[in-house]
């Protein structure tokens, strides 16, 4: 049984709690929405799922309904206490009070080699958390994250899009990302001023160039994204390297696919 709007309100008021703006807390108060998220996450019985920002447990309960083993992480001490009560009688749900940005992920995930991450992420942590997990936590093989629509567009953007940037290239290096749905502001409590997007991120084998060779080049170019590459990468990439990589030096950063970035990084780094 997931939470309705009256249930969310009662859980908060009965314990003297209120949504914290500093933590970007907006609680999903619609059972159909959280079940839809669990469905889109393709969670199955026996799956190992880690949920970040579990809050009052609306999504936690929907994930548990699938038969998955759920580790629910919540940084807010007051909410974590309520969450423990909410899931006390629910099998295979573990509540961890911790900050996802400073977690010891190896200790949290243990020996299980395959995890699914599902999360309703606030604006200020969404991008760094997703990219850090892609960089350092290979046991998380798939993610379904609910983020501000603008953030979601950047995570899943392809070349030629105004949303395409260094973060898009980073995500594409490690995974295939796509927007699988939108979530209206009306299902949240309190109601945010923006629409949310659901982004699926599925890990895959990275291309044969190291992150240390690729990402500094990408970040430098996108630091001056309106300039042609011959200008934004001046002093970093010689003119001959563009020819060798088959990349026009008159292109702008958002014009290059991951494959073109990889070719350029290989040439630059020998």
Does residue 198 sit in the same domain as residue 220?
no
> Are 186 and 223 members of one domain?
no
Name, in order, each residue with C-beta under 8 angstroms of 81's C-beta and a sequence gap of 6 or more: 15
pLDDT at 1: 67
Residues 178 and 216 occupy one common structural domain: no
Does one domain contain both 155 and 187? yes
CA-based nearest residue to 181, from 131, 146, 155, 214: 146
Cα 249 to Cα 127: distance, rounded to the nearest angstrom: 29
Q: Does residue 246 share a domain with residue 123?
A: no
Query: What pLDDT shows up at residue 25?
Result: 83
The contacts of residue 26 (CB under 8 Å, 6+ apart) are 19, 120, 122, 188, 189, 190, 191, 192
Phi, psi of 239 (to 5 degrees): -55, -40
Summarised one tens digit per residue, pLDDT across range 225-247 is 999 999 999 999 999 999 999 99
User: Which pLDDT value is given to residue 111?
Assistant: 81
CATH of the domain at 182: 3.40.50.150
**Is the model's pLDDT at 163 over the cut of 70?**
yes
| Residues 116 and 228 reside in one and the same domain | no
128 and 232, same domain (yes or no): no
* Count of residues making up the chain: 270
User: Is pLDDT of 259 > 80?
Assistant: yes
Whether 141 and 260 map to the same domain: the answer is no
- Tell me, yes or no, whether 130 and 248 share the same domain: no
**Pair (152, 24) in one structural domain:** yes
Last residue of a domain, one of 182, 203, 224: 203
Task: Tell me the whole-structure pTM to 2 decimals.
Answer: 0.94
Number of compact structural domains in the chain: 2
User: Residue 226: is the preceding peptide bond cis (ω within 30°)?
Assistant: no
How does pLDDT run across 50-99, given as a tens digit for each residue? 999 999 999 999 999 999 999 999 999 999 999 999 999 999 999 999 99
Range of the domain at 227: 211-268
CATH code for the domain in which residue 226 is found: 1.10.8.100
Residues 118 and 18 in one domain: yes
Question: Would you state the pLDDT for residue 239?
Answer: 94
pLDDT digits (tens, 9 = 90+) for 95-124: 999 999 999 999 999 988 899 999 999 888
The residue written with tokens 């170019």 in the block is 221
Same structural domain, 254 and 186: no
């Amino acid at each position: 049984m997931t939470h309705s709007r009256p249930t969310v309100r009662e859980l908060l008021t009965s314990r003297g709690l209120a949504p914290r703006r500093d933590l970007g807390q907006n609680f999903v108060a619609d059972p159909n929405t959280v079940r839809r998220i669990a469905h889109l996450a393709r969670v199955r019985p026996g799956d190992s799922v880690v949920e970040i920002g579990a809050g009052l447990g609306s999504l936690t309960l929907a994930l548990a309904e699938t038969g998955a083993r759920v580790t629910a992480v919540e940084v807010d001490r007051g909410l974590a206490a309520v969450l423990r009560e909410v899931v006390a009688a629910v099998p295979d749900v573990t509540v961890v009070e911790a900050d996802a940005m400073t977690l010891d992920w190896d200790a949290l995930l243990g020996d299980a080699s395959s995890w699914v991450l599902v999360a309703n992420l606030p604006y200020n942590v969404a991008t760094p958390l997703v990219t850090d997990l892609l960089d350092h936590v290979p046991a998380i093989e798939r993610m379904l994250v609910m983020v501000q629509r603008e953030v979601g567009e950047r995570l899943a953007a392809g070349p030629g899009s105004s949303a395409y940037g260094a973060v898009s290239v980073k995500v594409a290096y490690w995974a295939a990302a796509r927007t699988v749905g939108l979530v209206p502001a009306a299902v949240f409590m309190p109601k945010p001023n923006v629409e949310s997007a659901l982004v699926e991120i599925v890990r895959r084998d990275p291309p044969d160039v190291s992150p240390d060779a690729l990402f500094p080049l990408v970040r430098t170019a996108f630091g001056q994204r309106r300039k042609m590459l011959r200008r934004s990468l001046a002093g970093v990439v010689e003119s001959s390297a563009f020819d060798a990589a088959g990349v026009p030096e008159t292109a702008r950063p958002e014009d290059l696919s991951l494959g073109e970035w990889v070719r350029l990084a290989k040439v630059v780094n020998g």
